[in-house]
Structure formats: C-alpha cells, structure tokens
Structure 1
Amino acid sequence: MTLTPIRAYVAGPAQGPASRTPNRVRRYFILRLIASGAVIAIMADSTATTLAIPVLGRDPIAAGLPLAEITWVSTINFAAVAALLATAGRFADLLGRRSVLALGLALYGLGATTVIAAPTWPMLLAGRLGQGIGAALMFPSSLALLLGELPPNKRAGAVALWSASSGAGALALQGGGGWLVEEYGWRGLFLPGTALAAVLLVLTPALPRSRGTTRRMPDLFGALLLVGAIAAAVLAISQGEVWGWTSTRTIGCAMAAGLLLAGALATSWQNPGGAIDIRLWRRPGFLWAGGASCLYGAASYVVLSIGPLYLKESGFDSVSLGLWLTPISVAMVVSSPLAAMASRRIGLNGIIYTGALTLGGGCALLLAHPYPNLWCLLGALLLGAGFGALSTGTFTVGTMAADPGQYAAAAGAVNTSRMLGGAIGVAGASVLVDRPIVDGPMPGFASVLMACLAVAVVLAVAALTRVARSSSRRRAARPTRREAEAELIVLRRLLAELRDSFVQVRSEAEQELARFNVHDLPAPRVPAPRVPAPPAANQR
C-alpha cells in the first residue's frame, strides 16, 4: 500500500487543471482588479496633490494664503492616512475586510467630490481629510483581501502587482496631469480618482465575504489613543520647520505622541482585540520589515516631494514637470513584478539589498549631473527601479511574517512605518534645502540627494547582514558527512529493532492462533494495479 492515491486525492483538486473553474478565475480577477484599483486611486490622489500645490495659490479659494498654509492640503491628508492605517488594518482583520474596504471607498469618493466642488478653503481641507480617512481604510483591507483569498504560491506575485499599481497610479497623473490642469484647473486633477473609486465601490459586492477573526468589539479607546499618537507625531515632524523645532506646539505634539502611544500599548498588552496587535510585532522578521519600510519611505517621499519643486525652479511648466517624473513611475511598475520573480532565487532580503543598491546608484548619478539631461533620465529610472524592488520586498516580508488573520494589520503597520519614515525624511529635506551641507550648483538639492544616498547605504548594509546571517544559518543547519553517516547508522539500528519487534509480534500472534486451532490463514488478496491499454495504432 502506498500514499500515492491519497496524495493525488488531496493535491489534485487544489492543483490540477480542473480546479481552475471559471468562477474561481473570475473571482481572482475581480480581487486583483479591485485591490490594484484601490492603490491606483490612492497614489493618483497623492500625485494630484503634489501637482496641485504649485498652482493652487493662484486660485481665489486660496488667495492671500502663504505657502505654509497651502501645504496643509497635503499635510492634513497625509496625517489622516498615517494615523489611521494601523488601526484600520487591525479593524479590518477583526470585523471583516470587505466591509472596511467598501466604507473606505465610499469615504474616499465623498471626500474627493467635496474637494472638486469645495467653495471655501475649510471645505477643501474637510474633503482632503475625508479622502485621507478613506485611503487609510482602503489600503490595508485591499491587500489583506488579496492575500487571504489567493493560494500561497500566488501571494508574492499579488504583492508585486499591488506594489506596481502604486506606480501606475502616479504614472497616470504624471502623464495626464498637465493636460487636466490646463483644461479643468487644479480641481481636474482629482477627477480620475473620484471616478475610479465610484467604479470600485460598485464592484465591491462581487468580492468574497470576509468574516472577522473575532466577534467581540475592538478596543475603541485604544484605537483613539493610537490614532492620536501617530497624528501628533506626524504633525510634529511635518510642521516642525514651520513652527520651529523648539516651539511650544512642536514639543507639545511630540510629548503628546509619546504619552498617547504608551497608553495605546498599555491597553493592547492584555486585550486580544487591542488597537496594536502585540503578537504581530513579536513574529520573526516583522520588526525588520517595519524598519526597512521606514528607511524606504524616508528616501521615496523625499524624492517625490522635492523632485517637483526642483524641476519647477529649473523653469519647467506643469506638463513638462509631470513628464520628467514619469520615468520613476514607469521603472517602478516594471521592477515590482521582476522583483517578485527574482525573490525566488535570491530571497526577499536579497531583493531589499538589490533595491537599496539601485536606489543609491540613482542618487549618485543625479549628484554627478545636477541639471536635467539624459543622465538624469537614467538616474530617474534607477530611482524608480529601486523603489519598486523595495516596495515589493518590504511589503512581502511584512505580510508573509503574519498569520492569515493578521494580513490587514501587517499591511497597515508596515505602511505606517513607511509614512512615518517619509514624514521624517521630508522634514529633514526641508531643513537641508534651506541650510545645505555642501557647496556647488543646486546645493540644497545636492544635500538632499546625499542624505538619500546615506539612507540607501544603511538599508543595503542591513539587508546584506541579514542575507549573510541566513546563509550562515543554512550552512550550520546542513549536516556534515560525518554527521550524515552517524545518522545513517542510527537509522539502520532503529530499522533493525523495528524488524525484530515485528518478528516477535508475528510469533506471538501465531501462538495465540494455534490455541484456537487456526492454521494457514489465506493471505489477503491485493488487487493488481490497473494498467491503461495502449492506444490503437489507427487512432487519430
């Protein structure tokens, strides 16, 4: 008797061609479509904000406002997303991912509609806040739905597709943003995201229903503490340069962030439904994913925020500005799936190492050629390729370290780390632009690129260290020839003892059967395996 029929029965329905029914293929397609569409909408909104700020000051709605006030269009949205991501992911795991995604799409669409039709500045900020809340709900729940429904062998590719979608969203606005501004003004930049969110919301009922991991109510008080802590930290970091790093508001926000975070940790320590999943942060590899994502965000957000300002100061108009940023998004879209395929050979830490090296190479090339030319184009492609590899690597490491019931919490926590790193990076970059640390042409821009290069080096060294440790552990776990021979001797001894025990059992069984006058039992009939007949010679 062999295990072949059992294995065929167990593995066949899940792996064979017959398992790929039209319903399953259609469900996987809808999953990928909605998850990717949600990320495209979020990144399109982020790019739209970057392109809208330079021209928003000329609109009557922002007449007389200084640039520091106008940038609140981005700050309030960024703070809302960063503050709610971790909590939204935790709630999606506890209450149901499809419901949280649908709520996020509705809030995002409502906020974008408010921004487009806003008659006053406070109404515009309210719409941006609504978009931020909706994006925070959409981001982790979309990835968790994708990972939770796909088989394990397709999850790395799903993360790559999801990461590439962020580049596709930015690419769409960078390529057509200038035309939208010329035709419809800055409000036209938010039209694509609004339309996409409406379409995705209509398709959401086709998603598989996902039940939460618990029926108990999540810790709302702890969630409020965590949201307040992250929001206060983001405000302190992003507005420190405007308020003054030693001002009362900056120090007050920093102290409030520390106290609120301590309260959120205290309430989550013993509560299974706490705002912070303590078990998640204890899992091997997850802390590394959060740290790597933080460094990746510190570099990526700086490039995406300082790049448009640098190009605008160089005399580029809105159309040219978007076209010069397009290579970054194109390279990110292409490199994300390539990174997923390469991870099967060099591992996820190798992907993070390669992405950091590529990012550093792009920064070095832009440092050597500070003015826009073909070398800068190659540098932009390297930056985008590095971003794609790092995005795929960090998100895959973080989500694969989590249990299936923690996918949304993992995605939210990893992206929160990325956004906090981005806030720190942008704040540091604003300081370097005003007080550069190097001389020469474009000293502020060169100082920012040097800082990004340093971040890339630190990330590459950390990833290389983990690659070396993994290799040493595999070598240590691999048995030597002497150990293999010793294990073979032990195995032979155990088999010999097992054979002797079977002989003894047989002898005792025969003695017991003899007591009942039972002799020469017929051997059990084992049916011969069926051999398929060869095909007929004249069969066509």
Structure 2
Amino acid sequence: MADVGETVALRSAPGRRTVVAAVLGSGMAFLDGTVVNVALRRIGLDLGAGVEGLQWVVNAYMLTLASLILVGGALGDRLGRRRVFVVGVVWFAVASLACALAQSTGQLVAARALQGVGGALLTPGSLALVQGTIVRDDRARAIGIWSAWAGVSTVLGPLVGGWLVQALSWRWVFLVNLPLAVLTLLAVRAAPESVRGARRGFDVAGAALCVLGLAGITYALVERSLPAAVVGVLALGAFVGVERWSRVAMLPPDLFRSRAFTASNLVTFVVYGALGAVSLFLVLFLQVVGGYTPLAAGLATLPLTLLMLGLSARVGALSTRTGPRPLMVAGPAVAAAGVALLAGIPADPSYLRDVLPGVTVFGAGITLLVAPLTVTVLAAVPDDRAGIASGVNNAVARAASLLAVAALPALVGLSGDDNERPAALAAGYTAALWWCVGLLLAGAALATLVPARRRV
C-alpha cells in the first residue's frame, strides 16, 4: 500500500487499482441515478404508485445525494478521502439491500433516501482519489478514463435496469450493487490515503439548511405546496448567508471567484437537468406509448453508452490541447439537436428510423462535454480542495436532475395515473423534451463564459 500523500503513475498497479476503485464506486451511485428509470413502471404496478409516488422514488435518492454531497467532499478533504469513500461504499450497499426488500412505496422512498446518503459520501471521494493520487502528468488522462466510465455507468442504467427487470425483478436493480461494492472495497485497498491539513469543525448548520432547502423546493414541485416552497426558499437563502460567514463552510464562497469554476457549474446545472429529464421521459415513453419491453427500452440508449466509453478519454486528452471551451460549447449544442430529433418520434416508433438518430446525436454531444467539464472544474482549484470542488460539481449535477424531475411533470401537465395513460404521457413527453432542448442550448451559451484556454 502506498504512503499517505504519495502520488503514483497511472500505469502502476496502485494507480490502475485506484482508478478502478473510483470508477466502480462512483459507478454504483451514478448507475442508481438512472437504473431505476426503466424499473419505474414495474415498481408502480407492484407497489401501486402513481406519478407522484414514482417521482419520489427517483427524487428521494437525488435529494439526499445532492444536499449532502458537499458534506462528503468536505469530510474527505479533512478526514481522508479513502476512509470516507470506504464508509460510503458500505453504507450504499446496505441501503441498496433495504431498497430491494421494500414492501411499500413509503419503505422504498425511505431506503432510497438512505442510499443517497451513501452516494454523497463516496461520489466526491472517488474523483478526489484520482486527483490526489495520480501524478500530475497522468491526471488529465486518468480523469478522462474516470469521466468515460462514470458517464457510461449513468447511461448504462436503462440497459442494465431493463435486462434485470425483464429477466428477474425490479428488486435486482438494487441487489446488483452488492457485488459491485465488494469489488470496489477490494480495489481501493491499493489507494494511498490523502489526509491534508488540520481537521477542523463540521458545518452542521450549513448541512441542515441545504437539506431543508432542497427538500422544501422538491416537495413543493411534486405536491404543489406553496408553504413548502416558502420554507425551501428561505432555507436556501439562510444557507447562502451561513456559508458566507462560517469558518468551516462546506461550500466556501471563495471557490466561485474562479470564472472557470463558476461557469462550469452553471453549464453543469442546465445540462444535467436536461440529461436527467431525458433519461426519465424517454424510457417511460418507449414502454408506455411505444410498447417496448423494459429490455428494449434500455437497449435503445446503447449508442450513448458506446460513445461515452469509446471517446471520453480521447476527448479529455483533446481538451488539454484545445482548451475546454470549444468542446464545452459544442457538446450541449449537439446534444440539443439530438433531443430535438427525439421529441418528434411517433407513437409507434421504429428504433432504426425514429430513435437511433436522436440518441446517437445526443450521445455525441454529451461525450464532447463531460471530460472537458470535469477537468475544468478540478483545474480551477488547488489539489487539496479537489474533494470539495468535486462535491460542489456533483451536488450541482444531482440538484439539477432532482429539480428537473420534480418540476417537468407538472410543467407539462402530468399527474395521477398519467404514467399509465399513453395519450397523456405522449403529449407530456414531447413538451418535456422541448424544455430540455432549451436547457441544453442555454448550456452552450453559458459555456462561452469559460476561459478560452486553461492549463491542466
């Protein structure tokens, strides 16, 4: 095992195993952000959940993940990234088992919330392990590899979920995390610990206000509750005030003095909001309206997976030569064109004619964006703040998906049992995807604020 604070080459055994552990660990969390989408219809039928219940199955996980991921990043920087990562992996596995055993919608929602806590501990630590462990000359390529597989795990969710739901049961979309957790724990033993600096206090007030704020707004969007919206807005306003003056802020305001960091997180917010919504609406549309089986709906997203897997590392290396801005502008714009194609698919879609072109173009755009975005976020801060920087960016991404999934069904008129009414779902799907086109074009515009070149 390497010493505390040691950096290793990517091609060394500890370097390779560190990246493998980071990929497997974060992959579990990212996979569960999307794998449930394909299983939602079967979950609804089995547990008797309507649109709002299914929204909470998705959002309970996203809520705790988004609101506590900053805590996970800060704890990793202060207590040791490997230590916090390991705790997160174990917690995630236990919560996944609870999800698989749930007998009601309420039990599943509660277990999903616990699962998000584990994801908040392991997700920022996974990327911080790569940033703090791999030598600087190999770092961009290592991050590119991490980005590729992290992106693959996100978009692989519908494929894996479809096969598990169709061949076994929706409960297996959670049970599959148990062997992944074991493999992650075996691989991470080779990673050096990375405790840096003094251990300071913990931002209890900030964490509580962040959870309360996001919970209030999410509840307001799903349940149409004005009091909850007021509570959420006031809590988030108080959170901003606390973070400005706290000596142990989990969201240090000075991070946003970097134009690259701020602009990258703005791009992350709008693009990942669109990504979360497209992932949800597409697989539901293909099953409820198009008549696809869960496996066929999952297979429909395979081109996105293959593009991320095959090209993300090369795109990461390219961004070090061109600078991140050209790719970060082009990526969301190309993805918007793909979503526009998907918005127009008919009620009886042919995969080759109607679905494949849109998914391929969308996947090409997301592939162009992910690695340059990740590299830019981490390059904007010193190495000893990689955990919190990763935590902020992941929190922004998960909060964006959370809010998009909470808001869009209401914006497009879906409620009650519309998830099982093809005509209602088809109309809502088309409107939702055009909202996503707008979000992606906004992401391309915001990416022009990223500095033209940035050394990484």
Structure 1 residue aligned with 2:191, among 207, 218, 231? Answer: 207
Q: Which amino acid aligns with 2:127?
A: L
One-letter amino acid of the counterpart of residue 317, structure 2: M
State the match for 1:374 in structure 2: 352
Q: Does 1:406 align with 2:390?
A: no
Report the TM-score, using the length of structure 1 for normalisation.
0.74
Deviation digits for residues 418-475 of structure 1 (CA, Å, limit 9, x no counterpart): 222223333443245438xxxxx954333223222222222223334656xx48x9xx
Task: Name which structure has the greater RCO, CA cutoff 8 Å, separation 6+.
Answer: 2
1:377 maps to a residue whose letter is L
Between stretches 320-329 and 450-459, larger displacement belongs to 450-459
Deviations 1:364-414 (A, max 9, x none): 333455434424302101111222222223222211111111111111111
Q: 1:35 corresponds to which residue?
A: 22
- Call closer, same or farther: CA 1:226–1:456 in 2, change over 3 Å: closer
> Residue deviations 1:463-505, cap 9 Å, x none?
34656xx48x9xxxxxxxxxxxxxxxxxxxxxxxxxxxxxxxx
Residue 372 of structure 2 aligns with which residue? 393
Q: Distance in 1 between matches of 2:90 and 2:384?
A: 24
Tell me the residue number matched to 2:422: none
Q: d(CA) in 2 for partners of 1:252 and 1:152?
A: 49
Give, in whole Å, the separation in 2 of the partners of 1:213 and 1:232.
35
**Corresponding residue for 1:320?**
296
In structure 1, the partner of 2:233 is: 258
400, 412, 415: which one aligns with 2:394: 415
RMSD after superposition: 2.8
Instruction: Kindly report structure 1 stretches of 4+ aligned residues shifted beyond 6 Å.
Output: none
- What residue in structure 2 maps to residue 108 of structure 1? 92
The aligned amino acid for 1:331 is L
SS in 1 for 2:401: helix
- Distance of 1:428 and 1:125 partners within structure 2: 18
Counterpart of 1:355 in structure 2: which amino acid? Answer: G
* Contact kept? 1:298, 1:425, Cα under 8 Å: yes
Deviations 1:209-264 (A, max 9, x none): 12143222222233222332233333334x1xxx22xxxxx333332233323333
Query: Do 2:37 and 2:158's aligned partners in 1 also have CA atoms closer than 8 Å?
Result: no
User: Which deviates more, 333-342 or 132-141?
Assistant: 333-342
Question: Following the alignment from structure 2 to structure 1, what is the Cα–Cα distance between the partners of residues 399 and 206?
Answer: 20
Distance 1:397 1:128 in 2: 31
Match of 2:252 in 1: 277
CA drift at 1:197: 1.1
Rounded to whole Å, the distance in 2 between the matches of 1:44 and 1:266 is: 34
> How far did residue 144 of structure 1 move?
0.6
Q: Is the counterpart of residue 219 in structure 1 residue 219 in structure 2? A: no
Are the equivalent residues in 2 in contact too, given 1:222–1:268 (CA < 8 A)? yes
CA distance in 1, matches of 2:227, 2:311: 42
Whether the 8 Å contact between 1:87 and 1:227 is mirrored in structure 2 is no
Using the TM superposition, give the Cα deviation of residue 275 of structure 1 relative to its aligned residue in structure 2, in angstroms: 2.4
Q: 5 Å matches for 1:72-91?
A: 72-91=56-75
CA distance in 2 between counterparts of 1:205 and 1:367 reads: 46
Q: Distance in 2 between matches of 1:71 and 1:443?
A: 18
The farther-off stretch of 200-209 and 78-87 is 200-209
Is 1:310–2:285 an aligned residue pair? yes
Match of 2:267 among 275, 288, 292: 292
Of residues 39, 54, 63, the one that matches 2:41 is 54
Q: Deviations over 1:92-136 (max 9, x none)?
A: 212221111111101100001112233455443332222111011
Within the candidate set 193, 196, 207, 2:177 is matched to: 193
Residues 303 and 372 of structure 1, relative CA distance in 2, 3 Å threshold: farther
Residues 82 and 416 in structure 1, CA contact (< 8 A), matched pair in contact too:
yes
CA–CA separation in structure 2 for the residues paired with 1:221 and 1:424 = 23
2-structure distance, mates of 1:270, 1:71: 35
Q: Determine helix, strand or coil for the equivalent of 2:63.
A: helix
Question: 1:170: Cα distance to partner?
Answer: 4.2
Unmatched runs of 5 consecutive residues or more in structure 2: 1-5, 415-424
Alignment check: 8 A CA contact 2:95 2:112 kept: yes
CA distance in 1, matches of 2:92, 2:63: 15
Name the structure 2 match of 1:135.
119
Could you say if the C-alpha distance between residues 394 and 172 of structure 1 is closer, same or farther in structure 2, counting changes exceeding 3 Å?
closer
Matched-pair contact (CA < 8 Å) for 1:331–1:382:
no
| TM-score under structure 2 length normalisation | 0.87
Rounded to whole Å, the distance in 1 between the matches of 2:206 and 2:341 is: 46
Most deviating of 219-228 and 404-413: 219-228
Paired residue total = 436
- Deviation of 1:198 after TM superposition, in Å, equals 2.3
2:152 alignment counterpart: 168
Alignment CA distance shift 1:284-1:151 (3 Å): farther
Q: Is the 8 A contact 1:355 1:388 kept in 2?
A: yes
For residues 227 and 427 of structure 1, do their structure 2 counterparts lie closer, same or farther at Cα, with a shift above 3 Å needed? closer
Q: Does structure 2 retain, via aligned residues, the 8 Å contact 1:90–1:408?
A: yes
Instruction: Quickly say closer, same or farther: Cα 1:71–1:213, change in 2 above 3 A.
Output: same
Task: Measure, in 1, the Cα distance between the counterparts of 2:379 and 2:325.
Answer: 13
Equivalent pair of 2:307/2:367 in contact (CA under 8 Å)? yes
CA distance in 1 between partners of 2:280 and 2:262 (Å): 27
For 2:377, the aligned partner's letter is G
Q: Distance in 2 between matches of 1:466 and 1:39?
A: 26
Note closer, same or farther for the CA distance 1:453–1:126 as it changes in structure 2 (3 Å cut).
closer
Measure the CA separation in 2 of the matches of 1:34 and 1:80.
Answer: 23
Whichever of the two has the greater Rg, that structure is 1
For the 8 Å contact 1:358–1:385, the answer to whether it is kept is yes
Would you say 1:383 and 2:362 are equivalent positions? yes
SS of 1:58's equivalent in the other structure is: helix
Q: Pick from 362, 370, 389 the counterpart of residue 338 of structure 2.
A: 362
Amino acid at match of 1:231: A
Residues 445 and 57 from structure 1, CA distance in 2 versus in 1: closer, same or farther, beyond 3 angstroms? closer
Cα distance, 1:53 vs structure 2 = 1.3
